[in-house]
Amino acid sequence: MGVKTVFTQNTQAMNDVPVISKKKEPRTEAMTKNNNPAEEEIITIEGPAGLFDRSKTMKLEEIREEIGDCTRCKLHEGRTNLVFGDGNPKAKLVFVGEGPGRDEDMQGKPFVGRSGKLLTKIIEAMGLKREDVYICNVVKCRPPDNRTPEPDEMSTCEQFLFKQIISIKPDVIVCLGATAAKSILRTKASLGSLRGKFHMYSGTKLMVTYHPAALLRNPNFKKPAWEDMQVVMKELGLPLPKKINQGD
Ligand code: SF4
């Protein structure tokens, strides 16, 4: 049936093991423009039954209450504010980053620094307002000195991301950056090989693209990132602009 690999996840907080399948699928339109092979690996993450029982969907406020004054991983030690997430609880589109930075930690809101301003511009270029979407991170507390969240921290905190996604029921998730993508898709594949096509996460289509901070560091990433967003826009039924300013 085209299934290449089926294996189980081996992380600390995943006793209820998600099933991961990787199979060859045709690429999406945005990627047919380059010279990469016509088929790429699509990753599907299914949820453990208890956590993904949709009859037990929690409201976002209930999930926030469950997190409480969390000390489940060591990231709680350095946080000023826990950054749960922000936006429309019925959003069709959810953006997921890896974790809060300094500005986010200070304000208790995701993506409010320079990267956040660029993300807002991207959202607006898609024809949406920031209030239309939901924005959150894999880990809810800032790693010290903005280091990359460690695997045990991400696997401990990810249960809340799963629950947020189930609560919101978006049509599309956009995963920002390699760290978040590798963690939630349980892969070591490069961002370049993951982007440009939909994977499946908890029954929802998931696009991987560059983190806004990477776009600020390297403007050459803007074109492929915009191609990814156009695939997302098409999936959401949003009109595609005839022309974009690559300098933005
Ligand atoms: S990062 Fe997540 S699991 Fe760790 S302390 Fe913060 S809320 Fe709890």
> Is 231 a residue whose pLDDT tops 60?
yes
* Domains located in the chain, CATH noted: 59-236 (3.40.470.10)
Residues 108 and 82: beta-carbon distance below 8 Å = yes
pTM score, whole prediction: 0.84
- Give the pLDDT confidence of 38-57 residue by residue, as tens digits: 345 899 987 654 455 566 78
Q: What atom in ligand 1 is closest to the CA of residue 67?
A: 7
Q: What is the largest CA-CA distance in the chain?
A: 50
45 alpha carbon – ligand 1 mean position (Å)? 22
- Give the pLDDT confidence of 160-219 residue by residue, as tens digits: 999 999 999 999 999 999 999 998 999 999 999 999 999 999 889 999 999 999 999 999
Residue with tokens 């929802």: 204
> Is 107 a residue whose pLDDT tops 60?
yes
Mean pLDDT for the stretch of residues 59-84 = 97
24 alpha carbon – ligand 1 mean position (Å)? 35
Does ligand 1 lie within 6 Å of residue 139's CB atom?
A: yes
Mean pLDDT for the stretch of residues 69-75 = 98
Tokens of 228: 């990814």
- Give the pLDDT confidence of 2-39 residue by residue, as tens digits: 444 333 343 343 334 344 555 544 333 333 333 343 34
The residue whose CB lies within 8 Å of the most ligand 1 atoms, and thus the one to mutate among 141, 148, 179, is 141
Element (H, E) at 84: none
> Is 76 a residue whose pLDDT tops 50?
yes
Give the whole-angstrom CA distance, residue 127 versus residue 136: 20
Q: Would you state the pLDDT for residue 125?
A: 97
Residues 125 and 241: beta-carbon distance below 8 Å = yes
SS3 of 105, please? helix
Q: Which residues pair with 200 in a beta bridge?
A: 44, 205
